[in-house]
């Protein structure tokens, strides 16, 4: 089948590959939406010398009173283990997290926010909430709630058919 479709640059070309238009690609739409959302958060993270991924880890640790394992953080943050390991080294060197060895398994670490990490999260949180409020004001509170609900439902589809060892629902404190 030959179809004429606009290319990502807006040009029309003969495409002999039968697949949906690039602009209608779900992964690309999700990436564009992520970039739109993160544009609201990057400046405030930069003010605190944090990367998006570092903030994701700090925010996940701040969401629980319990120590968590690296595996639980991988699931909660959707970061790959090697990337998370580098991030944890950086956060630990800045004194933002505390790591202890698990008593029952010397290969496992338990992670918590340090007092300095909690203080940083407390300073960033109001600015983060202001960014969320700006998104809600621009997009609409109901629309955002619906979008988040739909994304959660979509994520649960993948989890229902997840392979053993794949990330669970991302909640800390639960074991997969």
Q: What angle do CA 37, 148, 118 make, to 5 degrees?
A: 65
The residue ranges of every structural domain in the chain are: 25-160
Query: To the nearest whole number, what is the mean pLDDT of the chain?
Result: 85
- Biggest alpha carbon distance in the chain? 63
When pLDDT is averaged across residues 162-169 and rounded to a whole number, the result is: 46
Identify the pLDDT of residue 166.
47
CATH tag, 25-160: 1.10.10.10
If pLDDT is split at 50, 70 and 90, which confidence band does 67 have?
A: very high
How many angstroms from the chain centroid is the CA of residue 155? 13
Identify the pLDDT of residue 6.
52
Q: Are 117 and 61 in contact (CB under 8 A)?
A: yes
Residue 37 has pLDDT above 60, yes or no: yes
Residue 80 has pLDDT above 60, yes or no: yes
Q: pTM of this prediction? A: 0.78
If pLDDT is split at 50, 70 and 90, which confidence band does 102 have?
A: confident
Residue 13 has pLDDT above 50, yes or no: yes
Tell me which residue of 103, 69, 67 sits closest to 85, measured CA to CA: 69
Task: Round to whole Å and give the CA distance between 131 and 40.
Answer: 6
């Amino acid at each position: 089948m030959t179809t004429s479709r606009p290319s990502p640059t807006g040009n029309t070309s003969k495409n002999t590959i039968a697949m949906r238009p690039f602009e209608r690609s779900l992964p690309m739409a999700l990436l564009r939406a992520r970039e739109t959302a993160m544009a609201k958060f990057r400046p405030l993270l930069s003010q605190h010398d944090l990367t998006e991924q570092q903030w994701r880890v700090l925010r996940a640790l701040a969401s629980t009173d319990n120590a968590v394992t690296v595996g639980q953080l991988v699931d909660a943050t959707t970061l790959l283990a090697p990337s998370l390991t580098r991030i944890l080294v950086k956060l630990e060197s800045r004194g933002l997290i505390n790591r202890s060895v698990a008593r029952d398994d010397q290969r496992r670490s338990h992670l918590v926010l340090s007092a300095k990490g909690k203080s940083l999260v407390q300073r960033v949180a109001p600015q983060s909430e202001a960014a969320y409020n700006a998104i809600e004001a621009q997009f609409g509170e109901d629309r955002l709630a619906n979008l988040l609900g739909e994304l959660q439902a979509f994520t649960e589809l993948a989890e229902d058919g997840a392979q053993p060892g794949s990330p669970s629902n991302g909640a800390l404190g639960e074991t997969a």
